[in-house]
Amino acid sequence: MSTGPSGPSTPLVAVDTGGTFTDLVLLRDGTITTLKVPSTPADPSQAVLDGLRQLVPEGVAFDLVHGSTVATNALLERRGARVVLVTNRGFEDVIEIGRQNRPQLYALVGHRPPPLVAREDRLGVAGRLGPDGGEIEPLDAAELHDLAARVARHAPDAIAVALLHSYADPMHERAVATALATAEVPVSVSSEIVPEFREYERTSTTVVNAYVAPVVDRYLGRLAAEAGAHRVRIMGSNGGALTLERARREPVHTVLSGPAGGVVGSLAWARRAGHDRVISFDMGGTSTDVSLLPGHALRTREFEIAGQPVAIPVLDIHTVGAGGGSIARVDPGGSLRVGPRSAGAEPGPICYGRGGTDVTVTDAHVWLGRLPADAFLDGERTLDREAIRGPLARLAEQLGTSLEEAAEGVVAVVDAAMERALRVISVERGYDPVEFAVVAFGGAGGLHVAELTERLGAREAIVPPNPGLLSAYGMLASPVTHEVSRTILAGSDAASAARLVAATLDELEADARGAMVAAGTDPEALSVERWIDARYRGQSFELAVPAENWVTRFHDAHRERYGYARPEAPVEAVTVRVVVASPPPPLAVVALEAGSGPPPSRTTEVILGGRVLQARRVRRRDLRAGHRLDGPAVIQEYSGTTWVPPGWTLEVDSWGCLHLVGGR
């Protein structure tokens, strides 16, 4: 993955923290250098700092863009802050009542994860606004005066403020926030985090922000102080980078930080490879992230993490607990299960030699020869195949099979889990996979993509250069963005609707531009997108359409989505949004030279269907444009390994992407 000499004057480092490895990509003087270091789950910043010391020469000034999993892990592991929620009296239980969704459809008694704020830490205050922002009941001055002391008795690590209809007028929330100014903990205010209607989602989002704020702030504070970077950006869940200051203030925007970079990077490489409609398939050490890209990245606001709704714009990514480190086991019924429990970075798979004792997907590939033991990190490190024998034999004994059948069973089970994930985002949404190519990346993506592409019925598989580092590469290719929104609830049949929509958009754009310029962005380089979430009056959910000619666009979008439109009916502009972005640094990719003959190769043994096959083993660095290989073949490189099964053909394009096509 090399680039031409058109990079920025200041070197740029992208860092993606994964469950097993932390990936670093350095763009300097138009050239990209890569590095993988073991993650440090106990303190993720340590792996980042260690990697930066190894990758960046001493004394070289650089900028840093980082995909962080700190907020995600804090939510998944329930190790965030103690939060006090301040809300309207009588509405303290909104985050516990939630919606009438049933997480277990056929269970007589369903179970939800407990709220992030304990009942005794939810404090109600007098005062209330109406949906138009009008004051129904004023705040109580005496109560505000005592509020900070009242909150302090709960010894919170963070405070969330979410009052009714603050999207229409934030005056009550601002007064409460002012009363809490003496609190020496972060205060998250809903009218600043997500000034939109639907109080449950707005309250939940504000609570999530408060819950992860202290953890993220400590992490990013250490990174800013010790990384030595001139400027630090954090990858946002919407596919754009955030300023460090905003990420520390509004960490809820980083809950899909790492996977978002992979989506951006996969679409960039797919377009170079001649494909615009692709499915991104990111298989890492602990999980697999998939996303449908019908010419562009899809975004959604219907997002939950750890059972908590988060009403922020995120890339539409579906995640399953299936990765190279996923652990195989036999359940009480005698069935083979793989994941979601993972060996992670410590101790990792058995073959890593760090004390792992449970068979993982990586161990199965090593035993089957698809990941040759001496090919790991392109030969920089040798894996211990023999150490797998004992644990695999115990698993095989439980299953009543041979070692080879047990290993192939592990691969088949994890394939089934990932196939279901791919179907959720394609077939179940009405898309025909035959119209799409699958872009595989992550350290383990290339080992599974051929079989999954065939089972899904997709057109072909594409493995970009340095697939195990693609999420970090995508961060290099991501713009810096600032997105703002506001609920207005204006019907198109009202005389003032057009003026209100235009005025609100102008105000939001000015705010977003000001924030970007204050962060050091060149105002001349900024681009702007304006969107409106619209619906027919009485509908429960909205469709996002561009703001220009939004009424007609909504009718067209409704007809495309639902098969009909009502041109005579008024359309309601529910929420208006503005996205201001600055472009990413130029990444001019250099074309590969054409191959003058077959690449150097050697023979390796691979087990498939219980038989030993002789497969070609080729280093990716030896492949040139136009090279064509028939399977079975193993392509080894530093950041991943690609398996080409029998009946499949691999072709190399001029940009170094591997195109895998089956024999259908």
Q: Does residue 244 sit in helix, strand or coil?
A: helix
- Return the half-sphere exposure (C-beta side, CA atoms, 13 A cut-off) of residue 354: 11
User: Does residue 347 have a cis peptide bond before it, meaning omega lies within 30 degrees of 0?
Assistant: yes
Q: Choose the final residue of a domain: 391, 414, 437.
A: 414
Task: Answer yes or no: is 596 within a domain.
Answer: no
530 and 646 share a domain?
no
Task: Answer yes or no: is 287 within a domain.
Answer: yes
Q: Which residue's entry shows tokens 């960490």?
A: 251
Q: Does residue 451 sit in helix, strand or coil?
A: helix
Q: Domains in the chain: how many in total?
A: 5
For residue 363, give the amino acid letter: D
Question: Which segments of the chain have a pLDDT < 70?
Answer: 1-9, 588, 663-664
Residues present in the chain in total: 664
pTM score: 0.86
Distance CA 234, CA 242 (A): 5
CA distances from 149 to 141, 143, 155, 182, 428 (A): 14, 10, 10, 9, 52
Which helix (H) or strand (E) element contains residue 245? helix 244-249
318 and 361 share a domain?
no
37 and 90 share a domain?
yes
37 and 136 share a domain?
yes
Task: Answer yes or no: is 103 within a domain.
Answer: yes
pLDDT of residue 381: 87
533 and 576 share a domain?
yes
State the greatest distance between any 2 C-alpha atoms of the chain, in Å, as a whole number: 84
74 and 190 share a domain?
yes
Q: Choose the final residue of a domain: 450, 476, 502.
A: 476
506 and 490 share a domain?
yes
534 forms beta bridges with 543, 573
pLDDT of residue 9: 61
Q: Which residue's entry shows tokens 């010894």?
A: 155
- Please say whether the beta carbons of 442 and 284 come within 8 A: yes
Distance CA 318, CA 290 (A): 5
For residue 461, give the amino acid letter: A
pLDDT of residue 7: 40
| CATH number of the domain to which 309 belongs | 3.30.420.40
78 and 174 share a domain?
yes
pLDDT of residue 4: 40
pLDDT of residue 41: 82
Q: Which residue's entry shows tokens 């279901």?
A: 420
Nearest one of 71, 192, 191, 75 to 129, comparing CA atoms: 191
Residue 370 makes CB contacts below 8 A (sequence gap 6+) with 447, 606, 634, 641, 643
Strands 21-28 and 31-38: antiparallel
Task: Give residue 357's domain range.
Answer: 326-414
pLDDT of residue 664: 53
Residue 385 makes CB contacts below 8 A (sequence gap 6+) with 351, 366, 367, 373
Distance CA 38, CA 54 (A): 13
SS (H, E, C) 185-240: CCEEEHHHHCCCCCHHHHHHHHHHHHHHHHHHHHHHHHHHHHCCCCEEEEECCCCC
Which helix (H) or strand (E) element contains residue 278? strand 277-283
267 and 287 share a domain?
no
- Please say whether the beta carbons of 404 and 610 come within 8 A: yes
31 and 123 share a domain?
yes
Q: Choose the final residue of a domain: 367, 382, 414.
A: 414
285 and 211 share a domain?
no
Task: Answer yes or no: is 597 within a domain.
Answer: no
Neighbours of 97 (CB within 10 A): 10
Segment 416-460, tens digit of pLDDT: 999 999 999 999 988 999 999 999 999 899 999 999 999 999 989
139 and 287 share a domain?
no
Distance CA 582, CA 585 (A): 10
Q: Phi/psi of residue 188, each to 5°?
A: -100, 125
Segment 500-558, tens digit of pLDDT: 999 999 999 999 999 999 888 889 999 999 999 999 998 988 999 999 999 999 999 99
Task: Answer yes or no: is 595 within a domain.
Answer: no
Give start and end residues of each alpha helix (H) in 353-402: 361-368, 389-399
Q: Which two tokens stand for residue 135?
A: 């004051």
Q: Phi/psi of residue 298, each to 5°?
A: -85, 145
Q: Is the dihedral of CA 451, 456, 459, 463 positive or negative?
A: negative
Distance CA 465, CA 261 (A): 15
Distance CA 219, CA 457 (A): 43
